[in-house]
């Protein structure tokens, strides 16, 4: 069976959905069995943030992989992967608000104002919220395809903000190895889109 046929199978999206929940199940199991280390709250917050970035890379990789391989059925998974990116980013925000701030809304607002990396992360999440809320067919019809596409290009801004958020968060410990990996992957994926767009632009 070819990859295209596997991706087109009726059960493929169900399998992908289950796989996308595995990181959450693994974190829940680690928390339940007290295996998140000396600071479980920090480990949980950072792990959820890492998975948000991984799903961001995945959603941006779908179109290049589809174009290069010809696996057109990959397009079926783009919305679901994007929503899982928002899901893990929301859990990341929820864990921060719960474990770091005790759901104290004024303290959260004060922290956002005082710490730039929190402000950048919150801005990225708000953009994701708008995209998630308009990711459905009814929203596409209401906005019109052109405006909808322009709105969902905010994912490029999210990519930049996410890397900046990650960079500032890691700067306290001077640990940038993972930051450079994600920055390189996202730069390559966004660069591919720019190259494609310039290649399609009419020449004078």
Task: Extract the residue ranges of the chain whose pLDDT is less than 70.
Answer: 1, 200-204
> How far apart, in whole angstroms, are the C-alpha atoms of residue 71 and residue 16?
16
Q: Which pLDDT tens digit goes with each residue over 124-182?
A: 999 999 999 999 888 888 888 888 888 888 999 999 999 999 999 888 777 788 999 99
For residue 100, give every residue at least 6 positions away whose Cβ sits within 8 Å of its Cβ, in sequence order, or none: 41, 45
Question: Which alpha helices (H) appear in the chain, and where do they start and end?
Answer: 3-8, 12-32, 40-69, 78-95, 105-114, 116-133, 137-143, 145-152, 154-171, 177-200
Asked whether the beta carbons of 176 and 164 are under 8 A apart, the reply is no
């Amino acid at each position: 069976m070819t990859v295209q046929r596997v991706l087109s199978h009726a059960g493929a999206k169900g399998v992908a959905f289950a796989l996308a929940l595995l990181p959450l199940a693994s974190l829940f199991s680690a928390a339940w069995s007290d295996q998140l280390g000396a600071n479980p709250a920090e480990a949980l917050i950072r792990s959820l943030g890492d998975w948000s970035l991984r799903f961001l890379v995945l959603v941006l990789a779908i179109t290049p992989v589809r174009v290069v391989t010809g696996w057109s059925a990959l397009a079926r998974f783009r919305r679901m992967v994007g929503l899982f990116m928002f899901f893990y980013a929301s859990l990341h925000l929820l864990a921060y608000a719960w474990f770091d701030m005790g759901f104290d809304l004024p303290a959260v607002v004060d922290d956002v104002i005082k710490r730039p990396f929190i402000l950048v992360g919150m801005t990225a999440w708000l953009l994701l919220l708008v995209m998630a809320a308009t990711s459905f067919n009814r929203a596409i019809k209401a906005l019109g395809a052109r405006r909808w596409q322009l709105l969902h290009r905010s994912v490029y801004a999210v990519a930049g903000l996410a890397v900046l958020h990650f960079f500032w968060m890691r700067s306290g410990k001077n640990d940038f190895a993972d930051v450079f990996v994600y920055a390189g992957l996202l730069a390559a994926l966004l660069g591919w889109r720019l190259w494609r767009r310039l290649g399609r632009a009419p020449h004078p």
